[in-house]
Structure formats: structure tokens, C-alpha cells
């Protein structure tokens, strides 16, 4: 393969990042953005890493039936275009089918008998995002091109909720703004975090706001799923919740009737927010869940706890060996995941450790992207 060469190929797969997978005429795997499964195109090779190539779309020869003209004028895969919604190139039904197939394929690699339900679609493919991070160099405000540091000046964003769109427009009236200039050479822009509670007046510059699920409607569905699953178990006395945040799922666990909940999170701000909710039966604790010694003491303390609830970050559950003695410590495990790959890695460990994967419920929290949320229920085999 040579940088700059143009070759013709068909898209044979889609990656977890949403790129198309094609085969170079010499047999090497090449990744390219802006294409869909089954399409045929001319690609220009722009980089090579090891045995894998990366190419840009030069000319589309055969279009997928599901392809559409992106309704957002800023969307694109080239430098100078917004890369935040890579799957806006196809209709929403096709996005859902692709996510469903990826979940089925990956789950059945680790457990062919696991029940994988049909993905829950978002009520609207637009206007769903309740929190957002803009980027600004003091002159522009918007998002970054895919695979580059190019800041795209965006006047309006279709996936933002009405409140966040209003906040965006208010922030844009403050341009130019010297306080939003690049803080360093390594970071060529400032980050501006906004959610529906903060508004433009409470924008957080170069500091993330407290985490919350980005899609209000789908968060309600996730909370209801967890509540109903625990409720259906009958009387549950105790639960250990790891990565509890500010109590989003803690509220659902308590509402299901669990009398004693030990909620653990690494963020002091999140634990303080949880404490302010005064949920009956909840003991909240700050702990580094990636520290093996802390994790060991937590698991030992809760060896007789009924239910384990997990909602880790994208990296998944790094410390987990202690969860799997000869006899499973928990009767049931509910794992809420924002990354399919790390979920499958952790799910395999749970299965090998004496748990059965009862069901998986995919959920589309981020339309126009390849992201998929996973709700999973494990049960002890003993």
C-alpha cells in the first residue's frame, strides 16, 4: 500500500466507531469514514499504521438504499466539517438495525443462549441531548472535525434539546471572548460545558459539569428497567451500587423496595449531591473503584449482599477478580454499560465466575452515532 493511492472497494463491515471496513486490493484492512455497509466507492489512502490503512472517501460509486442527505449542513467527514454525528448519512431505522446487529454478534460470541432484546429507539432522532460540551477559541464556537484539531464554527445543532440550543445561541452572542481563547498550545480551544440545569449563565469553562445521562427520555427508560427488574425479584434487603454518580440509579433501586443500599463513587461532588437527596436506606461513600485494595475491602464487606449494580465509565470494570470466589457473592448483578466492547470483556468474566447472562437490553441513547447503551441482567448459577 502507498499513501495517496486511489483504489476501489466495497464496504464489508462497520466498526464500533462507525467507520466503514474495506479491503485493499492487496488484502489489507482499511478503515474509511462517510460510507455505509454494502456501498462501493473510490478511496484515497491517507495513512498506514502497521498492517491497517486509513482512507478518505473520494467518490461514491454505489450508494446504499438507506443513505440520505444529512439534514445538518455542518455534518461531514472532511476537515472543516463537524464530525459529531457520523451516522447522519443514513436514515434512523438503518442506524438502529446496525446497532442491533452489532450487539447480537458480540453478545453471542460470549454466550449463544443469552436473550438479546430488540433495541429501544429514541422517541426522536433529533433534539434529545440534554448536556453538551462546546469548544471555542474565543472567536468561533462549535465542534471539532473528525480526526483533527480543526474547530468548526456551528451556529445551530439539531441534536441539542431546546434549552441547550437556546444556551448555545446565547453563548454565541458573547463572541469574540478573550476568556475562551486556547489555554495552552496542547489544547487549542477552551471547553464550554452546559446542561439544562446550568444554562448559558452557568457555563463551565475548561471544567466538566457533574455527570448525567445525556438523553432524558432514555434515562427514564433505563431507570424503569432497573426498577422493574429488582421489583420482580421480590423482597431484596441489600444492594451494593458501584459508580453510583449523584444517585440517578440509586433512586430507582430504592424505589424498588431495597432497604439498605451502599452507593459508592469516586467523585466527592457526586456523593455530596447524592447525600442531598436524602434517599431512605442509602449509605453513600467516596472511594476509588480502580484501586485494588479499596475494591477488595468493599467486596469483602459485602459478601452477603443480594444485588450488585454497576454503571462504570467506558473503560468498564477494571478491578473484578475479587468478585469471583468459588461461590458467587451476589444473587443478581445488573450491569449498565456505555461501551459494548468493555461490557463483553466484563460479561465473559462474570460468566466464567459463576453467573448466567439472563438478558441484554440494547438502548439507543445517542442517535446519529454508533454508540449503543447496554442494560444487562446476570444471575448466580448457585
CB 250 within 8 A of CB 261: yes
Give the helix, strand, coil percentages of the chain, each rounded to 5: 25, 30, 45
Residues 6+ apart with CB under 8 A from 382: 327, 328, 354
Whether omega for the bond prior to residue 36 falls within 30 degrees of 0, making it cis, is no
CA-to-CA separations, 214 to 132, 284, 296, 360, 366, in angstroms, rounded: 8, 23, 32, 21, 8
Report the distance separating Cα 274 and Cα 188, nearest Å. 35
Task: Extract the C-alpha cell encoding 97.
Answer: 438495525
Provide the residue count of the chain. 382
Long-range contacts of 352-358 (CB under 8 A, 24+ apart): 352/324, 353/323, 353/324, 353/328, 354/324, 354/327, 354/328, 354/380, 354/381, 354/382, 355/328, 355/379, 355/380, 355/381, 356/380, 356/381, 357/107, 357/110, 357/111, 357/114, 358/114, 358/115
CB 123 within 8 A of CB 219: no
Among residues 72, 82, 338, 344, which one is catalytic?
A: 338
Output b/e per residue, 150-160; b: 16+ Cβ within 10 A: ebbbbeebbbb
Q: Which residues face 308 on adjacent strands?
A: 240, 333
Report the distance separating Cα 279 and Cα 292, nearest Å. 29
276 belongs to the catalytic site: no
Residues involved in catalysis: 338
Amino acid at each position: 500500500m502507498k499513501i495517496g493511492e486511489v483504489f476501489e472497494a466495497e464496504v464489508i463491515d462497520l466498526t464500533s466507531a462507525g467507520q466503514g471496513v474495506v479491503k485493499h486490493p492487496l488484502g489489507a484492512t482499511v478503515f474509511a469514514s462517510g460510507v455505509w455497509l454494502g456501498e462501493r466507492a473510490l478511496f484515497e489512502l491517507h495513512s498506514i499504521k502497521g498492517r491497517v490503512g486509513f482512507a478518505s472517501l473520494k467518490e461514491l460509486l454505489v450508494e446504499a438504499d438507506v443513505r440520505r442527505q444529512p439534514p445538518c449542513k455542518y455534518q461531514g467527514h472532511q476537515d472543516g466539517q463537524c464530525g459529531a454525528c457520523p451516522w447522519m448519512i443514513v436514515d434512523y431505522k438503518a442506524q438502529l438495525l446496525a446497532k442491533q446487529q452489532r450487539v447480537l454478534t458480540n453478545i453471542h460470541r460470549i454466550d449463544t443462549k443469552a436473550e438479546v432484546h430488540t433495541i429501544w429507539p429514541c422517541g426522536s432522532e433529533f433534539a434529545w441531548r440534554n448536556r453538551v460540551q462546546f469548544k471555542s477559541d474565543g472567536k468561533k464556537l462549535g465542534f471539532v472535525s473528525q480526526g483533527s484539531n480543526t474547530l468548526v464554527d456551528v451556529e445551530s445543532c439539531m441534536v441539542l434539546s431546546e434549552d441547550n440550543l437556546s444556551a448555545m445561541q446565547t453563548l454565541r452572542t458573547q463572541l469574540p471572548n478573550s476568556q475562551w481563547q486556547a489555554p495552552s498550545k496542547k489544547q487549542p480551544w477552551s471547553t464550554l460545558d452546559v446542561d439544562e440545569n446550568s444554562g448559558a449563565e452557568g457555563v463551565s469553562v475548561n471544567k466538566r459539569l457533574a455527570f448525567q445521562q445525556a438523553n432524558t427520555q432514555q434515562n427514564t427508560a433505563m431507570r424503569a428497567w432497573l426498577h422493574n427488574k429488582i421489583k420482580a425479584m421480590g423482597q431484596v434487603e441489600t444492594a451494593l451500587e458501584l459508580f453510583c454518580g449523584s444517585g440517578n440509579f440509586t433512586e430507582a433501586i430504592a424505589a424498588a423496595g431495597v432497604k439498605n443500599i451502599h452507593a459508592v463513587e469516586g467523585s466527592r461532588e457526586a456523593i455530596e449531591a447524592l447525600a442531598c437527596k436524602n434517599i431512605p436506606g442509602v449509605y453513600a461513600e467516596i472511594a476509588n473503584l480502580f484501586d485494588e485494595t479499596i475494591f477488595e475491602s468493599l467486596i469483602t464487606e459485602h459478601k452477603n449482599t443480594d444485588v450488585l449494580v454497576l454503571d462504570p465509565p467506558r473503560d468498564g470494570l477494571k478491578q473484578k477478580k475479587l468478585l469471583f470466589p468459588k461461590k458467587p457473592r451476589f444473587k443478581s448483578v445488573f450491569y449498565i454499560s456505555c461501551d459494548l466492547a468493555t461490557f463483553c470483556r466484563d460479561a465473559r468474566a462474570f460468566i466464567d465466575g459463576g453467573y448466567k447472562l439472563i438478558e441484554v437490553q440494547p438502548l439507543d441513547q445517542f442517535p446519529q452515532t454508533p454508540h449503543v447503551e447496554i442494560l444487562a441482567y446476570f444471575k448466580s448459577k448457585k
